[in-house]
Amino acid sequence: MLDNQYKIWDVLCRLKTASLVAASAPATVNGVAGVFDTGAPVVAGQKGAYTEGKLVLDLAATTEANLATSGTRVRFILEGSTTVNFVTHNNLVDMLWGNVGGPVMASAGWSTSEVGANRYIFPFSNMFGDKVYRYLRLYHFFGGTWGTGINYTAFLSK
């Protein structure tokens, strides 16, 4: 059974608002770094409240030609940190799309014809090993030469 594509969301759970990006950087919400605070720890000694949910990426514009070009790739990383400034962090969700001089590399096993303007949903939790990360943010990394970049939004949901 397919997961419902309609997801509950709240404005406070946004990690990226719509804008064209073509350079590696943390995602922004209306020009400000999009950071989600999971809240105060409920277990003594932890750095934040345990959270699990879905990372929802809505790609509004990209082209198969961009992804099919040798060496061109885009990587979306949901990062977790114990500090709001992300001095140290860990990758909780790491999704790579694109082509590196030959076969398509996509951690979900997709081909370039399957990756384009659409909604993509990835499960996550903010626990890595035995550590809970209080703060979450999305980072996009571009590899290769991108002509126009991509336009996307992202948010966290149940």
Write down all domains in the chain, each with its CATH number in brackets. Answer: 34-157 (2.60.120)
Strand runs (DSSP E) across the chain, as ranges? 14-16, 20-21, 25-26, 28-29, 32-33, 35-37, 52-61, 73-81, 90-98, 118-125, 127-128, 131-132, 135-143, 150-157
- 29-30-35 Cα angle (round to 5): 25
The Cα 89–Cα 80 span in angstroms is 5
More confidently predicted of 72 and 134: 134
Q: What's the pLDDT at 115? A: 56
Long-range CB pairs of 37-42 (<8 Å, 24+ gap) are 37/84, 37/134, 37/135, 38/126, 38/132, 38/133, 38/134, 38/135, 38/136, 39/134, 41/132, 41/134
Which of the residue ranges 38-52, 84-98, 141-155 would you say has the lowest mean pLDDT? 84-98
| Range 116-144 average pLDDT | 84
Q: What's the pLDDT at 110? A: 45
